[in-house]
Structure 1
Amino acid sequence: MRKVAIVGGGPEEAIPDLRLFDEEVLWIGADRGAHVLLSQGIQPTEAVGDFDSVTNEEKSLIQEKAQHFEEHPSEKDETDLELALQKAYSYQPDVLYLFGVTGGRMDHGLINLQLLYPLEEKGIRGIVIDKGNWVELRKSGTHIVEYDDLYPNISFIPFTPEVKGITLEGFYYPLENQDVPWGSTLCISNKLISEKGTFSFNEGILLLVKSRDVNEVSM
């Protein structure tokens, strides 16, 4: 299974310890994300962007340390994250982690969460991660979710106007064949009662959000 991770230029205080995810991962730094990787002792395979968010000294270090460095003009059609995604697709990943894409401007965070849909359409498991959250997108069917002590709270949020027939098994608050529309809090802040549980639904698309209080554990 090929795993690729992109680190964007979001607020560094929202980015977890990337070394926790370093095993067999190919790293791509988008603009300042490349500097974040180096600051955590990780060599980027790819560094791409206009690098207008780093100093000249930092850019020189990125250029020296990254295996592949690609600089683009600041006036361009694609964002730095889009350029990084194009690089990621060239490696044909099965799993794509996205760090440094939340925690700042809400418009950036919302559109970056929407990236999970085209990733799913390409057959790529997309995962957005920050210090407090782990977010994935799921289409209808039956799915397994495993306990993670870093992200113990589990919520299911409709991505489409309604998700029909949700059933939760192995959860503190079980559910059977319930419809959940936009705005419903029915599937917020649940927990597993064992190492894994299952959730299924008949129609729609939802976001699986595993989360924690960022003050609970240092990452």
Structure 2
Amino acid sequence: MGDTFQVLVGGPEADWPAQLKQGQLSGRWAAADCGALRLLALGYQPELVVGDFDSMSKAEQADVFQQVAHVVTKTDQNQTDTELLLTTLEQMYDIEQIDIYGATGGRIDQIFSNIWIFTNPKFQSLLSKVRVVDRYNEITFYEAGQHTINKSPQMKYLGFMPLTPVTHLTLIDEKYPLQQWSGNPYSWSSNEFVGDTNHFSFESGIVAVIQSRDAEI
């Protein structure tokens, strides 16, 4: 069995799942920058934190550095905190699964960055091991092949978003099937599961699968 981590990056708390905000998620944690402070305040103990730490005061930095076993300082702006965190986790551990929280909400440029980084070849080995989670969405990533997807509790909708050009995308047994579609990045949204398990396939490219539910008003 490999290592499973939950990681917190810089998105707003309003988009966190309730279990995260209430300190109810168990498991191993890592964080980007001030995400470490947020985790510690909720009673989580991160093993790793990365960043340039310019969003923290000197006292906050000292507190984090004292409590977290592994601290990696970002020395340039050629990669985002999320990229550095994922790269460091892959270098330090035998990764089996990473759930990313705080990757959505707030600035749209950061949302797109946190999704499209998985088209970078350097993250190819992590692609199928990552899940992006927020209050209303769960996003997983797939390379070409035949795939089975399981419905997450409380989620209603199912979206398929090619992040690169894809060929022969086929939604086999979803509510709204699709046959052998090929094209550039696009979003096939507002589909739904039929039952608790469905299937899809494609022959080249990268596809993000988004399970979601309506926001509470």
Interval containing the TM-score (normalised by the shorter chain) = 0.7 to 0.9
In the TM superposition, residue 109 of structure 1 has moved relative to its aligned partner by 1.4
Q: Is the 8 A contact 2:33 2:53 kept in 1?
A: yes
Instruction: Report the RMSD for the aligned CA atoms in angstroms.
Output: 2.6
Offset from partner CA, 1:52-99 (integer Å, 9 cap, x none): 2233443333233323334456x6554433332232112121222222
Residue 102 in structure 1 maps to residue 104 in structure 2? yes
**TM score, norm. by length of structure 1:** 0.81
Structure 2 alignment gaps of length 5 or more? none
Distance 1:179 1:32 in 2: 42
Distance 2:122 2:134 in 1: 18
Residues 189, 70 of structure 1: alpha-carbon distance in 2 compared, 3 angstrom cutoff: same
Distance 1:183 1:69 in 2: 36
Matching residue of 1:129: 133
Residue 200 in structure 1 maps to residue 201 in structure 2? yes
Matching residue of 2:113: 111
Q: Is the 8 A contact 2:146 2:199 kept in 1?
A: yes
In the TM superposition, residue 138 of structure 1 has moved relative to its aligned partner by 1.1
Q: Which moved more, 1:49-58 or 1:88-97?
A: 49-58
1:35-184 aligned within 5 A: 35-71=37-73, 77-89=78-90, 90-117=92-119, 118=121, 121-124=124-127, 125-169=129-173, 171-173=174-176, 175-182=177-184
Q: How many residues end up aligned between the 2 structures?
A: 210
Q: Secondary structure at the match of 1:61?
A: helix
In the TM superposition, residue 168 of structure 1 has moved relative to its aligned partner by 2.1
Distance 2:74 2:163 in 1: 34
Residues 15, 53 of structure 1: alpha-carbon distance in 2 compared, 3 angstrom cutoff: farther
**TM score, norm. by length of structure 2:** 0.82
Q: Is the 8 A contact 2:10 2:34 kept in 1?
A: yes
Q: Secondary structure at the match of 2:172?
A: strand
Q: Return structure 1 stretches of 4+ with deviation > 6 angstroms.
A: none
In the TM superposition, residue 123 of structure 1 has moved relative to its aligned partner by 4.8
Q: Secondary structure at the match of 1:198?
A: strand
Q: Secondary structure at the match of 2:82?
A: helix
Identity percentage of aligned residues = 28
